[in-house]
Amino acid sequence: MSKNILITGGTGLVGKRLIELLVQDGHQVSILSRSKNSASKYPVFTWDYASGHLEDGAFDGIDTIIHLAGAGVADEKWSAERKTVLLESRTQTSNLLYQKLKEANHSVKTIIAASAIGIYGSENSPTMMVENSPVGHDFLAHVTDAWEASTRRFRELNVRLVQMRIGIVLSEQGGALMELLKPPVAAPLGKGNQYMSWIHMDDVCGMIQHVLDNEDTNGPYNVVGPRPLTNREFTRTAAKIFKKTYLPIPVPKLILKLMLGEMASIVLGGCKVSSRRIEEAGYTFQFPKFEKALEDLKNKNLLARDLRYLKA
């Protein structure tokens, strides 16, 4: 059944692809953004969590909100100022949505809120993390825990809340995979035994569409593939598929810390995360195998290159 959906974070990596698929499915989409975009194909409403502004009319006719807003964790080094942005761009946007919905005469029945597997921490535990596993102890675990606490308030508004704990997203448009393949050679990072709980972009969007359509889903779901890989396995396989030279000598931990500062914990740490709950909710993976996921992204990369050549 067609839904009227308001999306935050619609210009991000996941948001752009998700909007395409939602529109293909016949849903009506509008976007909450920090600025107007006259070139947008969809209605755009402005908001700003710092000033507490949210444009009138944004909730009109909306039955579902998909809340993806949040500053990119790996976009900049983690200065004290950047850490504040990472936290507040998640918690304060959620608080603004909550407050404005509380004040409004709205028709919203479902809120699907982004979260991250960072909630489990990056201690490289061999334990498979599930949705009721304990919260981790590092900075990103703290941010994600606060993020989920801010979205749990939506339940006070008598709406269905689903929290999507997203893993390492594989996309030909950017993200961890494309960064890993930028250097002339591919090599493991640190010891290489840290787990990378990956997922293909289309399965991220597929899971969001699945919980959108299945009203008995609620609470947190891990948005990851069925088989996490170590960084060494991930890098070696990606190098093979994309025909990059694989160097089995790991990039030293010290070098990564000098380059990235505290943010190095993203690549030096990891967690092994289970997809069982979303599978038990009826979701079937489009790309359950890492090799097939990479082959698909490689083909999309080649197609995009050919299209650019034809347009030149």
Rounded distance, CA 22 to CA 26, Å?
7
The confidence score (pLDDT) of residue 310 equals: 40
Q: Which residues pair with 48 in a beta bridge?
A: 53
Cα torsion at 118, 121, 123, 128 (round to 10°)? -80
The predicted-structure confidence for 143-187, as pLDDT tens digits, reads as follows 999 999 999 999 999 999 999 999 999 998 888 888 888 888 999
Residue 79, burial from CB neighbour count under 10 angstroms (0-12, 13-18, 19+)? exposed
Burial readout 138-171 (b: 16 or more C-beta within 10 A, e: otherwise): bbbbbbbbebbebbbbbeeeebbbbbbbbbbbbb
Check residue 119 and give left, alpha or beta (phi > 0: left; psi -120 to 50: alpha): alpha
> Domain ranges in the chain?
4-305
The confidence score (pLDDT) of residue 241 equals: 94
Which parts of the chain register pLDDT below 50? Answer: 305-312
The predicted-structure confidence for 287-300, as pLDDT tens digits, reads as follows 999 999 999 999 98
Token pair 């969001």 in the structure block, residue = 208
The confidence score (pLDDT) of residue 220 equals: 98
Check residue 77 and give left, alpha or beta (phi > 0: left; psi -120 to 50: alpha): beta
The confidence score (pLDDT) of residue 203 equals: 98
9 HSE (CA, 13 A, CB side)? 23
SS3 letters across 278-297? HHHCCCCCCCCCHHHHHHHH
Q: Which CATH superfamily is domain 4-305 in?
A: NAD(P)-binding Rossmann-like Domain (3.40.50.720)
Cα torsion at 182, 186, 189, 194 (round to 10°)? 110
Given the DSSP bridges, would you call strands 64-67 and 198-200 parallel, antiparallel or unpaired? unpaired
The confidence score (pLDDT) of residue 179 equals: 86
Q: How large is the angle between the packed helices 139-152 and 80-103, nearest 10 degrees?
A: 10
The confidence score (pLDDT) of residue 309 equals: 44
Token pair 């092994």 in the structure block, residue = 272
Provide the whole-model pTM: 0.94
Token pair 């990596």 in the structure block, residue = 13
The predicted-structure confidence for 233-250, as pLDDT tens digits, reads as follows 999 999 999 999 999 999
Rounded distance, CA 29 to CA 101, Å?
18
CB 278 within 8 A of CB 207: yes
Closest C-alpha to 213, from 21, 19, 8, 2: 2
Distance from CA of residue 308 to its chain's centroid? 27
Alpha helices in 158-261 (DSSP H): 176-180, 201-213, 231-241, 253-260
The confidence score (pLDDT) of residue 302 equals: 62
Alpha helices in the chain (DSSP H): 13-24, 80-103, 139-152, 176-180, 201-213, 231-241, 253-260, 265-268, 276-280, 290-311
Rounded distance, CA 55 to CA 34, Å?
10
